């Protein structure tokens, strides 16, 4: 980060000794060391966060790219169009398609000739034995 040689550090230490004196120099060195450690820890934390975000973005792009390549290689969209006979709208979900093709559950069941099937309320009571 800073290009400081050993001779430059010795000159800084000598000036600090002359300015602060031998009694205050150890306490000043500890304080400076504390602030340097805090600054270095903050820098590493920010750098790690940025690298983690970049890695996550790259992973997302890689997965999307792989999915697109796989989809293109097997032609899934073309097969879907061939099977359904029409192009599928992106907003159309599988549940909406299934609901449109299945009969309603509320509709009464019908027999082969088109008449409604008998329900329990339509059955005659002669077939059931009397309760005791």
**DSSP per-residue letters across 109-132:** PB-TTSSBPPPTTTS-GGGSPPP-
What is the Cα–Cα distance from 39 to 100, expressed in whole angstroms? 63
**Top-confidence residue, 130 or 79:** 79
Check whether 47 has a pLDDT greater than 80.
yes
67 part of a folded domain: yes
What is the Cα–Cα distance from 21 to 28, expressed in whole angstroms? 10
Domain hosting residue 33, numbered range: 1-53
Please write the tens of the pLDDT for every residue from 67-102. Answer: 888 888 777 777 777 777 765 555 555 555 555 555
What is the Cα–Cα distance from 55 to 49, expressed in whole angstroms? 10
State the average pLDDT over residues 108-129. 56
Residues 6 and 44 in one domain: yes
108 part of a folded domain: no
Check: CB of residue 33 under 8 Å from CB of residue 40.
no
Check whether 29 has a pLDDT greater than 60.
yes
Phi and psi at 18, nearest 5°, equal -70, -40
Please write the tens of the pLDDT for every residue from 7-28. Answer: 998 898 889 889 988 899 889 9
Residues 48 and 68 in one domain: no
């Amino acid at each position: 980060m800073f290009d400081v040689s050993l001779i430059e550090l010795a000159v800084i230490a000598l000036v600090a000794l002359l300015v602060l004196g031998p009694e205050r120099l150890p306490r000043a060195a500890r304080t400076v060391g504390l602030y340097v450690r805090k600054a270095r820890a903050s820098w590493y934390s920010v750098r790690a966060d940025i690298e983690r975000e970049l890695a996550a973005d790259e992973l997302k792009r890689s997965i999307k790219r792989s999915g697109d390549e796989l989809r293109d290689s097997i032609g899934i969209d073309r097969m879907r169009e061939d099977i359904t006979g029409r192009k599928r709208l992106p907003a159309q979900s599988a549940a909406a398609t299934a609901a449109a093709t299945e009969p309603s559950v509320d509709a009464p069941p019908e027999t082969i000739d088109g008449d409604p099937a008998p329900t329990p309320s339509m059955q005659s009571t002669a077939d059931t034995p009397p309760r005791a």
